[in-house]
Amino acid sequence: MPVVTVGKENSGNIDLHYEDHGSGKPVVLIHGYPLSGASWEKQLPVLLDAGYRVITYSRRGFGQSSKPTTGYNYDTFSMGGGEVARYQGRYGSKNVSKSVFISSVPPYLLKASDNPEGVDKPVFDGIEKAVAADRYSFFTEFYKNFYNTDQNLGTRVSEEAIRNSWNIAALAGSTASVACVRTWYEDFRKDLARITSPTLVIHGDADRIVPYASSGARTAKLVKGASLVTVKNGPHCITWTHADEVNNALLSFLKEEKKLLLETPA
């Protein structure tokens, strides 16, 4: 099993599991909460067929990566769109030819005096308490809004696909499942301002996890020259429910490029 060792916790290594397939120009796929690198199931074959080298990995605490009890912050670990923003906020965009944010948390989800579009802090506190109390029950309810099952179950997503997502979440580390919640309201506004790579934002306008108006629409305005693709009636996990629309947007955006950082929902 291919891994990258990124640290140690007591006597054990902290390893990140990854998969590296295909050849050609590399595309790095970065998953969100509470998934794993396997969450790109509907994008992987399309990108491989188009001639790209595709690299996926599971961040600490999830998938087949190590599940330490430390390091759950954006200066240490990786998580979806926040990683794409923070990397370029810290190091610039010289090593990234293009960036894509899909249903991602930037720019800043926490409501504040200078961020009235955000979500009230007690909402996040309640989520954290619910995950800590019974994360398995929380995930059951979470995935209803992750896929907007009241609208999409039986048409765009099956019971079995949702069950698989639940299984992946259940196998995540208990510490990671709770600790990641506090990272959802990290402030990425300064990071986005430093991005100079061509950027695409894809977001569903029916996202109940990360509201479209608070995130995707604002990110597209804060990154200079960014393009926005709005998926009509798209829930949070548009990479599954609206895979054709997402894949078409990605392939169009990828033409004649060398390297890309992508993130998956949440």
Alpha helices by DSSP H, listed for 204-258, are 216-222, 238-241, 243-254
The mean pLDDT of the chain is 94
Distance between CA 81 and CA 160 in Å, rounded?
27
Distance between CA 196 and CA 222 in Å, rounded?
11
DSSP notation for 95-139: T-SEEEEES---S--B-BTTBTTSB-HHHHHHHHHHHHHHHHHHH
Question: Three-state SS for 207?
Answer: coil
pLDDT at 262: 63
Domain of 72 in residue numbering reads as 3-263
φ and ψ of 216, to 5 deg: -55, -50
Residue range 74-114, pLDDT digits in tens: 888 877 889 999 999 999 999 999 999 999 999 999 999 99
Residues marked active site are found at 78, 207, 236
Other beta carbons within 10 Å of 244: 9
Q: Which two tokens stand for residue 49?
A: 């067929």
Residue range 199-249, pLDDT digits in tens: 999 999 999 999 999 999 999 999 999 999 999 999 999 999 999 999 999
CATH number for the domain spanning 68: value is 3.40.50.1820
Beta carbons of 3 and 17 less than 8 angstroms apart: yes
Residue range 161-184, pLDDT digits in tens: 999 999 999 999 999 999 999 999
pTM of the model: 0.93
pLDDT at 260: 58
Quote the number of domains for the chain: 1
258, pLDDT greater than 50:
no
Name the β-bridge partners of 30: 57, 263
Q: Which two tokens stand for residue 106?
A: 């930037």
Q: Which of 65, 56, 234, 103 is nearest to 157 (CA)?
A: 234
Query: Looking at residues 11-29, what average pLDDT do you find?
Result: 96
